[in-house]
Chains A and B, each alone.
Chain A
Amino acid sequence: MAEPFLVIFFYGLITSLIFALYSVGFSLVFGVAKVIDAAYGIWYTTAAYLIFALATRLLLPLPVVILIVVASMAALGISYYSILVRGLRERIEMIMTTFLVALMVQYLIVAIFTNFPWSIPAMFPGSTQVFGVSLFNQQVAAAVTAFLLLLVLWYLVYRTKIGLAIRAVAQDREAALLMGIDPDRVMAFTLALSCTLAGIAALLQAPNSVISPVMGWPMLTLAFAVVVLGGIGDFFGAILASFIIGFSHQLITNLVNPLYSMAAAFVAILLVLWLRPRGILGRALE
């Protein structure tokens, strides 16, 4: 009999790492490109259905699926930026436009795949016992991958030239331009990165449960909660917030009722907006 707190600990860890990977994309786009992507949830959904189509309909092998998903999400991000997002300046117009995009894509998915809750087979079937807790191999692999990718992301943002350019544009677009950085290219890269992260999050998370056309909205809620709690564009804030949200999600899911977990995240959003709008670390960009 597994200790309930060990269950909460392990699943909290897994959930938090995946939330962190997904939310950092939203946070980067919010902080760097100053784009509020109301369609960020739908990219997660899109990737999940892409995986479903490739893996269960075309029966492609796993590495090919991963390659196609990552490449097409990056391409999607770049075209999304250059066709649409680049021309949007005003915040509300931006949200309205990206929301309409989300609606179109979602209804397109409904038209193609219907509302049926399809499932994606686990990429790593089976389960492992860790300290008496039975963990699905898929989730262990997801957590390890998410952890490694977060390290790569940290290196990318804080130790490379492109990361420097990203942080420069986030701080001051005009000044970055004067330093010879092309903000347009940096933003296109950031959008591509965020869409890819949404795609990878779907690769890691979607095989655990059924997929549905509305699966992206709860993810967007969590990403929003992470951004509000962690502070906009704050990499470490986002990771800290992901752990807070992830662990409280697991606590509530295991001890109360899974249906209350999003309400808890929502109350956290309202409280932070009300009491500490610059995030719990207090160093958001705006």
Chain B
Amino acid sequence: MMARIRPVHLIGLGAVAALMVVPALPGMRAVLFPLTLTNIMATLAIAWNLLFGYAGLLSLGHSFFFGAGGYGSAILAKSYGIPVPIAMVMGAAISSGLAALVGLPSLKLKGHYFVLVTLVLPAVAYQLTNALDPLGGHDGIFGVPPLVRDSYLVYVGSLVLMLASLLATFYVSRSRLGMEMLSLREDEEAAKALGVDTPRVKLYALTISAFISGLAGAYWAHLNGVISPAVYELEKASMPLLMSVLGGKGTMLGPVIGAYVLQTLFESLKIEAIVTARLFIFAAATFVIYRLFPQGLIGILRRVAA
């Protein structure tokens, strides 16, 4: 499938090499943490895009899966002494399990029920984590052990996580499941008529997406050393959506481009006057892009290139 090497592959390899090397240069340590965050958010956006961009299942509450993975991994690593990498995978599995649990009742119905369920999910999770003492209540969980001590290695790990999620998207999209997901996105009735078991396809897409989101959340929890109910605030839920729509939903690289553009703007727009308004600016920009250029930045780039 990838027999011919095209210029875009060389650009991709160059970009990865640059992302590996440049932050390691002397004097670049300040960008390590923001870039690590960017990779984590990009991973979350990739997971969201896998669900919406490929299977047409819109989730407005991906922060729930992110948070579930984070909480799961943090508790397993801190209270049960499970090695961090294993705890992360287990946290992601918990996220998948919860996704199946809350997703199943609505997946056999029309798509908009699922959207509404995901829309209210983080608000419910916010109150529940506040109420439950084993989850640390309002203060959350402190002293989550880090994956590794060295910040450059943490950064490389986040890059690997992001690339692995991209690879997962690539393989899923080329598989039989990916084809079924596309048919579901284009026309659910027609897909059903052709014998696609739509609830099963939706469930697989959801659990895979929740797994990747959970990994991203776990990575985030171990990076910060703390996770609290604030993870379920609207900002986290809306970011993957803003990033994917901005970059180009339903494309491999769209979420990554969107994440890098948004996070770069986010870090650089720290001027007093803009800080309070920047989320509004992002939402408004995404709204305009969504209405006028549904293909996002990737679509605009393609149009310019063509």
A residues bordering B, Cβ < 8 Å? Answer: 36, 38, 91-92, 95-97, 99-101, 103-104, 106-108, 110-111, 114, 214, 217-218, 220-221, 224, 228, 257, 259-263, 265-266, 269-271, 273-274, 277, 286
How far apart sit A108 and B286, CA to CA, in the bound complex (Å)? 14
How far apart sit A3 and B290, CA to CA, in the bound complex (Å)? 55
* Number of A-B residue pairs having CB atoms within 8 Å of each other in the complex: 112
Q: In whole Å, how far is A217's beta carbon from the nearest beta carbon of chain B?
A: 5
- Inter-subunit contact B56/A92 (CB<8 Å): yes
Q: Is B198 an interface residue (CB 8 A)?
A: no
Chain B residue nearest to A38 in the complex (CB): B119
Q: Is the interface of A mostly helix, strand, loop or mixed?
A: helix
- Inter-subunit contact B115/A266 (CB<8 Å): no
Q: Is the interface of B mostly helix, strand, loop or mixed?
A: helix
User: Binary interface profile of B, 88-128, with partner A (CB < 8 Å = 1, else 0)?
Assistant: 00000000000000101110011111011101110110011
Contacts of B269-289 to chain A: CB distance below 8 A: 276-277, 279-280, 282-284, 286-287
B residues bordering A, Cβ < 8 Å? Answer: 56, 58, 60, 102, 104-106, 109-113, 115-117, 119-121, 123-124, 127-128, 130-131, 233-234, 238, 241, 276-277, 279-280, 282-284, 286-287, 290-291
In the bound complex, residues from chain A placing their C-beta under 8 Å from that of B116 are: 36, 38, 95, 224
How far apart sit A270 and B276, CA to CA, in the bound complex (Å)? 37
6 contacts between A and B (CB under 8 A): A91-B110, A96-B241, A96-B290, A100-B286, A263-B124, A274-B104
- Inter-subunit contact B127/A220 (CB<8 Å): no
- Inter-subunit contact A262/B127 (CB<8 Å): yes
Partner of A104, one of B130, B276, B283: B283
Q: In whole Å, how far is A40's beta carbon from the nearest beta carbon of chain B?
A: 10
In the bound complex, residues from chain A placing their C-beta under 8 Å from that of B280 are: 104, 107-108, 110-111
In the bound complex, residues from chain A placing their C-beta under 8 Å from that of B128 are: 259-260, 263
- Inter-subunit contact B131/A217 (CB<8 Å): no
Would A97 and B291 be within 8 Å (CB), given that A91-B112, A214-B233 are in contact? Answer: yes
Would A38 and B60 be within 8 Å (CB), given that A92-B112, A110-B280 are in contact? Answer: yes
- Inter-subunit contact B123/A221 (CB<8 Å): yes
Would A107 and B283 be within 8 Å (CB), given that A99-B60, A260-B128, A273-B109 are in contact? Answer: yes
- Inter-subunit contact B131/A260 (CB<8 Å): yes
Partner of A266, one of B111, B124, B234: B124
Would A217 and B234 be within 8 Å (CB), given that A114-B276, A270-B117, A273-B105 are in contact? Answer: yes
How far apart sit A214 and B130, CA to CA, in the bound complex (Å)? 16
- Inter-subunit contact B290/A100 (CB<8 Å): yes
